[in-house]
Structure 1
Amino acid sequence: MLKRRRVKQTRTLTERLADEAARLREEAHALTPGRQREMLLRRARQNEAAMQIDAWLHSPGLRAPT
């Protein structure tokens, strides 16, 4: 049986997503307009959407159904 490789995260998910989105945007702005640039910008927007979803899930107003 294979053992799962576990990694202890030292930074929050939001921090990692924000850093990745910023890195992708910088990389995209260095490219000329085209498919590669659009794909990088799309991934950056997806990371930003994931940050918003994570914030919503951790908001105090969200409660588990009873």
Structure 2
Amino acid sequence: MLTRRRFKQTKTLTERLADEATRCREEARALSPGRRREMLLRRARQDETAMQIEAWLRSPGLRAPT
């Protein structure tokens, strides 16, 4: 049976997403226009959207759906 490798995250999800978005934008800035650059920019936007959703989910004003 395979065992699952577990480790404790040292950074919060928001910090990891922000780091990833920054890294993607910097890498895209160094590339010429093309498919790879667009994929990196798309990934950065997805990370930023995930940060907004995560902040919304953690907000104190969030109510359960009825």
Asked if these proteins are the same fold (TM beyond 0.5), I'd say yes
- The whole-number CA distance in structure 2 between the counterparts of 1:64 and 1:40 is 35
CA RMSD, 1 decimal: 1.4
Residue of structure 2 equivalent to 1:3: 3
Residue of structure 2 equivalent to 1:30: 30
Structure 1 residue 58 corresponds to structure 2 residue 55: no
Residue of structure 1 equivalent to 2:12: 12
Quote the sequence identity (%): 82
- Note the C-alpha offset of 1:65: 5.4
Task: Please list every run of at least 4 consecutive aligned residues from structure 1 whose deviation after the TM superposition is greater than 2 angstroms.
Answer: 63-66
**Structure 2 residues not aligned, in runs of 5+:** none
TM-score normalized by structure 2? 0.92
**Structure 1 residues not aligned, in runs of 5+:** none
